[in-house]
């Protein structure tokens, strides 16, 4: 029997602290900034389909913002790592991949470059593999998703500890990190970063590695793996 999705007022809230503007210029500087600022890291640990996909890599992530950009840092240790796709909008989710799905608050204004008729009925999916390749879209569900324009992707600073050259599959225990600095202006369907803004999100780690897995931060109660489920998004609060 399906359980009830996470509710907005469930009391579970992922908090995004505010950093001083100008703290970093590029994504490679984010890990050091987070250490200096004692930004809280969170464990990504929901194994939603344990009978079919029991593998549970060690995943810690942190989020922060400076009003101008969303910053994230993810650290992974897993039984094998896969890096085949180095181009944006390739099948990054088939590699070792970290994903942020984010639904803006309806109180947040649309950006100047938002398409006519844009609204907040949809959500962004920002998927980044271990090579730093991105899959960045917006839409109301799995179908009919609008890809980020090239100008939006170009604004996003990326850093990965494994470099950007495809290497296939590396077996054995492997550790890697990624960091992203995503400017407000790159969220092409609407501005989202405002102190005090409330949003909805879920965060994922997946990979068709030697040990396939599908982890989430907020639980997903579906029969089979499905990350495009905004009905199971949890709370996100920007300070």
pLDDT (tens digit per residue) in 71-113: 999 999 999 999 999 999 999 999 999 999 999 864 444 334 3
CA distances to 84, 140, 209, 214, 228 from 231, rounded to whole Å, are 31, 11, 28, 18, 9
Q: Which domains does the chain have, with CATH numbers?
A: 27-110+120-222+233-238 (2.60.40.1190)
Helix (H) or strand (E) holding 31: helix 30-36
Give the model confidence (pLDDT) of 134-143 as tens digits. 999 999 999 8
Q: What is the pTM of this model?
A: 0.89
The answer to whether 31 and 201 are in contact (CB under 8 A) is no
Of the candidates 127, 125, 60, the one whose C-alpha atom is nearest the C-alpha of residue 96 is 127
**Whole-number mean pLDDT of the chain?**
88
| 144-152 contact pairs (CB < 8 A, 24+) | 146/115, 146/188, 146/189, 147/89, 148/186, 148/188, 149/188, 152/185, 152/186, 152/187, 152/188
Span 156-215, pLDDT tens digits: 999 999 999 999 999 999 999 999 999 999 999 876 767 788 899 999 999 988 999 999
């Amino acid at each position: 029997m399906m359980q009830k999705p996470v509710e907005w007022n469930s009391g579970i809230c992922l908090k995004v602290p505010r950093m001083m503007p100008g703290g970093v210029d590029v994504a490679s500087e984010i890990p050091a900034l987070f250490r200096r600022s004692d930004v809280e890291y969170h464990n990504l640990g929901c194994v939603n389909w344990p009978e079919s996909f029991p593998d549970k890599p060690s995943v810690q992530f942190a989020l922060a913002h400076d009003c101008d950009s969303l910053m994230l840092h993810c650290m992974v240790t897993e039984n094998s790592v896969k890096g085949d796709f180095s181009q944006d909008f390739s099948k990054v989710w088939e590699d070792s991949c970290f994903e942020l799905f984010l639904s803006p608050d309806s109180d947040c204004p649309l950006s100047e470059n938002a398409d006519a008729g844009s609204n907040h009925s949809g959500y962004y999916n920002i998927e980044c593999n271990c090579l730093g390749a991105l899959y960045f879209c917006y839409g109301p569900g799995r179908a009919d998703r609008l890809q980020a324009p090239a100008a939006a992707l170009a604004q996003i600073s990326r850093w990965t500890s494994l470099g950007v050259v495809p290497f296939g599959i590396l077996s054995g225990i492997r550790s890697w990190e990624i960091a992203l600095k995503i400017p407000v202006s790159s969220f092409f369907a609407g501005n989202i970063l405002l102190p005090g803004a409330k949003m909805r999100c879920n965060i994922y780690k997946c990979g068709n590695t030697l040990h396939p897995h599908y982890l989430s931060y907020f639980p997903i109660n579906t029969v089979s793996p499905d990350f495009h489920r905004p009905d199971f998004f949890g709370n996100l609060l920007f300070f």
